[in-house]
Structure 1
Amino acid sequence: MRVIYLLGAFLWPFASLAQTNPIRKQIDALFRQASAKPQVLLLGTFHFAGEQVDVNTTSADLRVNMLSPSRQAQIAEVLDHIARFKPTKIAVEAAPNAKKYIDSVYRAYRKGHFQGDKRVRMDDELYQIGFKLADRFGHSELFPIDAQPFRIRFSPADSLIMFTKYDQQTDTSFAYWDKQYSAYSRLQDLLKYNSTLGEYLRFLNEEATHARSIGRWLVTTKRGTNREPIGADGFISRYYNRNLRIYSNLQRLVTSLGWSSLAAH
């Protein structure tokens, strides 16, 4: 099936380029950076301690032991690559209200007195990437920038009742893409298990992988009806809202144009 959505538009006579070019140059000049921009390196990761909180829960037989000698060597290699960026601040996927605790255990880690606990496991990415990299550069603190989306924090009835209402909505595309993405999750776990850490992180940060991740959410936008477009609202209020909140937290870390940061997720 092919669908065309028509947008109406008015056609107006265009002024000559000779008249408009000087104006366009002035517009461009308004947004031209006179000095260097802050530099941010985003590193997408998986949950080193095992995917048990997101859409996919990794089966026990495919969980990677990040404390094994081979994986520790791979982590060291990844850290060497990231260190070339020379971050001045390191932001991590953790709740901002956990900063005091994270900084306290990070200080203990730097003194050799912290081997992980229930909140910051020794085998997770906060410890293995965040703590190790921050310590390498002599940082005194880390910056948690995670956020919960608006709809979970303020509208539990919307997320629970409305989604449940359309949970069994019949549509062949739902069944098809659920099957496709279930297979995709399993193959991701298999790829992660059989790849080096560097290889898998490169895969996670590829443009095609990002597109597939967004696609998983876009499939849900069809859920609901024209009067109750719960899928579309959920996509904006969960996926994009959370990411924009994280982005706003990251922006507030900028203190100078010469600043650089690593944001590990």
Structure 2
Amino acid sequence: MMDFHCHLDLYPRAMEVYREAARRNKFTWLVTTSPKAFAATSRALEPLPSVLITPGLHPEIAHERAAELDLLLEQIADVKAVGEVGLDGSPRFKAHYEVQRKIFGAVVARCAEVGGRTLSVHSRRAVRDVLADFERHPNFGTAVMHWFSGSRSELKDAAAHGCWFSIGPAMFESANGRALAEAMPHDRVVPESDGPFAKVGGKSVLPWNASQVAEGLAPLWATTPDEAAEILARNGQALLYLMGQR
């Protein structure tokens, strides 16, 4: 199984979860929330071939970590992927939206400058602005829209821009999440956990729980869980190839 968006470093007993994810999963993408967190996590965790650790600057803390932007732009030159980055236009974070825009625009521009990177992208209530940055820098690489929550028309536009979509078990908890998952291009969907933040039944989703995505997708895609799992596995391998991981 694979997990294309997980905050492995933020679980309680993170080292144990990290080792178990490496044992159970063929691939786990550990996204960090800030450049300094990436540096610290990279030092603290033993490098393992099945775990990719990437630098990011989460939009929810962009205003607190804006001074780390230059460090992130330096780090981007030495990695194959970047995340978590993006924009959040929800009421709680709207006051800092212009700071987010500055940071995300600089990240996308830097990715284009260094030949393209794969990005794990947060786009809550900000899909149009995210896509606008992609249009300004068409050689930025590949976007994986994490836990996409936009409208159906925004989903269609994101797909037209070549975006991929990572979805986790928690997405199936809402009718809107199920409707979006059903409408996503079947050949560009990969599993994620978004643990420990994403929860199902009050418990944090674990990296190896991403396998439950096939069970959630099966009735929406009119297929069996095994067939859905095969589609996700093919998609995951294709995305890893784009990322230069395989």
TM-score norm. by structure 2 comes to 0.28
Q: Which has the larger radius of gyration?
A: 1
Normalised by the size of structure 1, how large is the TM-score?
Answer: 0.27
Could you say which structure has the higher strand fraction?
2
Q: Using CA pairs under 8 Å that are at least 6 residues apart, name the structure with larger relative contact order, 1 or 2.
A: 1
